[in-house]
């Protein structure tokens, strides 16, 4: 399982399609992390918290774009 580490700026630079793909991938990683913790196979117990936080960040940015609070990539003022 590869670890995805993104800063908020890196997430905002991605398109909506990329963010939706990333959201699905992170949800799968979250499931795998939970399964590994439940079966005592995980060596990194902090991976669950980090994955949850990054997934929430992606979901928040997607929702802000849906509501028109934040502009999509290529729009003016996105990095104001």
Kindly state whether residue 32 falls inside one of the protein's structural domains: yes
Mean pLDDT calculated for residue range 41-61? 92
Q: Map tokens 């502009």 to a residue.
A: 71
Kindly state whether residue 47 falls inside one of the protein's structural domains: yes
CATH number at residue 12: 1.10.287.310
Kindly state whether residue 2 falls inside one of the protein's structural domains: no
Kindly state whether residue 75 falls inside one of the protein's structural domains: no
Q: Is 38 exposed, middle or buried (0-12, 13-18, 19+ CB in 10 A)?
A: exposed
Note the pLDDT of residue 16: 93
d(CA 66, CA 31): 26
Total number of domains constituting the chain:
1
Kindly state whether residue 48 falls inside one of the protein's structural domains: yes
> What pTM did the predictor assign?
0.80
Kindly state whether residue 58 falls inside one of the protein's structural domains: yes
Instruction: Give the domain extent around 30.
Output: 8-67
Task: Of 29-33, 49-53, 71-75, give the lowest mean pLDDT range.
Answer: 71-75
């Amino acid at each position: 399982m590869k670890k995805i580490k993104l800063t908020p700026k890196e997430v905002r630079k991605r398109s909506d399609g990329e963010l939706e793909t990333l959201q699905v991938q992170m949800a799968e990683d979250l499931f795998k992390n939970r399964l590994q913790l439940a079966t005592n196979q995980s060596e990194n117990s902090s991976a669950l918290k980090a994955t949850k936080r990054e997934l929430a960040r992606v979901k928040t940015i997607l929702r802000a774009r849906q509501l028109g609070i934040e502009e999509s990539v290529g729009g003016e003022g996105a990095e104001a």
